[in-house]
Structure 1
Amino acid sequence: MKTVLLAALLAFLISLVLTPVVIKNAVRFGLLDIPKDARRVHKKPIPISGGLAMYVAVMAGMVVFLDLTHELIALMIGATLITVCGLIDDKWEMSAKVKLACQLLAAGILVFGGSHIEFFTNPFPFGESVIFLKALAIPVTIFWVVGITNTVNLIDGLDGLAAGVSLISAVSLAVIAYKFEYNSVSVIAALLAGSCLGFLPYNFNPAKIFMGDTGALFLGFMLSYISIEGIMKSAAALTIVVPVLILGVPVFDTTFAMVRRKLSGRGIMQADKGHLHHRLLALGLSQRQTVLILYGISIIFGLLANLVAGVDAQIGLFISLLTVINVVLIGKVSGMFKSKEEL
């Protein structure tokens, strides 16, 4: 536990000190988010690519606290690739196809390094206790990595939102990975949490810098890896449900967005103003109030995930199903399946 806390502290300090340097150089090199459409909440150009500070903090921490195994080197290469792609996108705006290709390549590097979702545990009192994916292991892993990477990117719409939700998710993942005795993974999760905490003073409303795709893609990529290695490789029941709950805010918001766009006849990747944070703002809440509410929801999801990870399989399944049903009902009542024009 001492190592986990020291890792979080080091990443926090590096991110806290380095972010002002990134702000200065972002302005110098023209890395600015200029408000040019109605989806953007800010009114003036803001430095972008703050994710570089978090990237450096996590990479440095891994070198200091962990042995450079084949798997860890693959993680570092994949994370570097996804961060560079995000940086290029922040500067020149990549096409969706090129961004997806970068994400698939980064996910493939993880798989090559040995990170696989090899099985799902069966929580039901019948059938095999473990369902092995076999030939599906690689495509399922790649789908998970790319999916989680993009869910974090999609909620990065308000000052401090993606960084705070990622911080809470990383803490929850660190606790569970430590319980499952995946000590190196808990250190990586702690590094990610510390880097987010160091970045937040500059990113919380009113933001002095945005993380950009540089940060959002990096955070999503790292969270996907941690969830695989820190939870899904355990034989404990409901290992697939636990990371979904931990990442509940971005996962459910993205799912609602895809369903909403499909029902309204739009492309599922077409941006809109129907995300949960947009709905809360439309109710008259301030940016800070909206972000704090979503932090609270993320904390609740994290607590539920820790509860599910530590109880009997059938009880955990009941809690999980009840949670999902309530989330879907709340989403329907609040209009999350309808476009803004239909409300």
Structure 2
Amino acid sequence: MVIIIYSVLLSFFISLFTGWLIIPLFKRLKLGQNIRKEGPQSHIKKSGTPTFGGIIFAFSTITTMLIYSRQYTNEVKVVIYAIIAFGSIGLIDDYLKKIHKDNEGLTPIQKIILLLFVSSIFAFYAYGDATIGPSIVIPFTKKILNLKILYIPFIIFYYVATTNAVNLTDGLDGLATSVTLLIMTFFTTLSFSMGYYSLSVFCGALSGALLGFLRYNSYPARIIMGDTGSLALGGAVATIAIILKNPLIITIVGGIYIIETLSVIIQTISFKLFRKRVFKMAPIHHSFELSGWHESKIVTVASIVTTILCLIAFLSY
């Protein structure tokens, strides 16, 4: 347990220092965010805020785990590979947005192809790994379901869904960071209690890195995580749950992710079929904004909801 605390503290301070170092650099390089025209008008003032912020917590987490090399097991390596692989897709997307000088990076088709490709690699790995697949735990029951060959398409879909859900949640200052910080704290405790000690050190390191990043990402944000960060976090969260043989736990702790995603799906279907909008704007956090909620209030409520969901998830064991 002591090493987990050390990993949290070390990663936190590395994240603080890294942010202090690169935010001015990114400003000089003019790596600012381009705000989409369809978004709330209040977000226009955020135009030019440095993006690529996911580099801060990804670097901090990996550096911390390199220092604690004794905890660098295969489990940890897989999660780090997931952060790098999915984060790289986000990095390409953010880079193209900067090159195009618009909020358009990879096309939806290009992004989904890259996500499917990377997800397939991890799905096949998990299926063939003796300590992971193809069995999953059913929350609130003691049942273990062996999906056999169906495990591969399930995990591919799971990765794509989770990474996109985190990506959609990253629309307000500190929202995705706060929600994921709480989820990673949950995974730190859970993995330790289940005997995945090296994984719990990693989860602690990522929690510390996110806590440090929140110093710069909370309202008003000095840096935005971008797709680099949101896809990296989605890949990490999904992989950790897979290693714990409980990918379905995300449907509980990641309730905010799911709500954000469903709001987009519902809005899209409703508009295409009936030419009517269910929400003022999707994802739903923008609808709350247009209803008069301040960004900080939305983030606070989402954090409260996630805390309760994490407690419920503990009961599922």
* Alignment TM-score, normalising by the size of structure 2: 0.85
Equivalence map 1:152-171=2 (5 Å): 152-171=166-185
Structure 2 segments unaligned to the other structure (5+ residues): 97-104, 274-279
Deviation at 1:29, TM superposition (A): 3.0
Q: In the alignment, is residue 19 of structure 1 matched against residue 19 of structure 2?
A: yes
Please identify runs of 4+ aligned residues in structure 1 that moved more than 6 A.
none
CA distance in 2: counterparts of 1:133 and 1:155, whole angstroms: 29
1:263 matched to 2:302: no
Query: Letter of the aligned partner of 1:168 in structure 2?
Result: L
Q: Does 1:290 align with 2:298?
A: yes
**Structure 1 SS opposite 2:4:** helix
Deviation at 1:129, TM superposition (A): 4.0
Q: CA RMSD in A?
A: 2.4
Q: Distance in 2 between matches of 1:13 and 1:90?
A: 26
Q: Which residue of structure 2 lines up, in the alignment, with residue 315 of structure 1? A: none
Q: Distance in 2 between matches of 1:112 and 1:253?
A: 29
Note if contact 1:122-1:131 (Cα within 8 Å) is conserved in structure 2.
Answer: yes
8 Å CA contact 2:75–2:199 kept in 1: the answer is no
The equivalent position to 2:107 in structure 1, one of 95, 106, 109, is 95
3-state SS of the aligned residue for 1:120?
strand
Q: Distance in 1 between matches of 2:203 and 2:291?
A: 34
What is the CA deviation profile of residues 148-198 of structure 1, one whole-angstrom value per residue up to 9, with x for unaligned ones?
A: 111110011110101111101111121112221121221221121111100
Per-residue CA deviations over 1:281-339 (Å, capped at 9, x if unaligned) read: 12212111111111111111111111222xxxxxxxxxxxxxxxxxxxxxxxxxxxxxx
AA partner of residue 259 (structure 2): F
Which structure has more RCO (C-alpha within 8 Å, separation ≥ 6)?
2
Runs (5+) with no aligned partner, structure 1 = 234-238, 267-271, 310-343
Deviation at 1:17, TM superposition (A): 0.7
Residue 146 (structure 1) shift: 1.7
Contact kept in structure 1, 2:75 and 2:243, CA below 8 Å: no
CA distance in 1 between counterparts of 2:150 and 2:264 reads: 27
Q: Does 1:106 align with 2:118?
A: yes
What TM-score results when the alignment is normalised by the length of structure 1?
0.79
Q: Which residue of 2 aligns with 1:328?
A: none
Query: Structure 1 pair 183/119, CA: closer, same or farther in 2 (3 Å)?
Result: same
Aligned to 2:86: 82
Letter of the structure 2 residue corresponding to residue 279 of structure 1? S
Alpha carbons of structure 1 residues 6 and 273: separation in structure 2 relative to 1, 3 Å: same
Secondary structure in structure 1 of the residue aligned to 2:272: coil
What one-letter code is carried by the residue in structure 2 that aligns with 1:55? A
Structure 1 residues 194, 28: closer, same or farther in 2, change over 3 A? same
CA contact 2:178–2:214 (8 Å) conserved in 1: yes
C-alpha distance in structure 1 between counterparts of 2:227 and 2:171, whole Å: 11
2:218 corresponds to which of 204, 208, 218 = 204
Structure 1 letter corresponding to 2:213: F
Change over 3 Å in CA distance of 1:99–1:124 after alignment to 2:
closer
Q: Is the 8 A contact 1:22 1:52 kept in 2?
A: no
2:139–2:249 contact (8 Å) kept in structure 1: no
Report the AA paired with residue 265 of structure 1. K
Rounded to whole Å, the distance in 2 between the matches of 1:38 and 1:252 is 20
Change in CA separation of 1:204 and 1:273 when aligned onto 2, cut-off 3 Å: same
Amino acid at match of 1:135: I
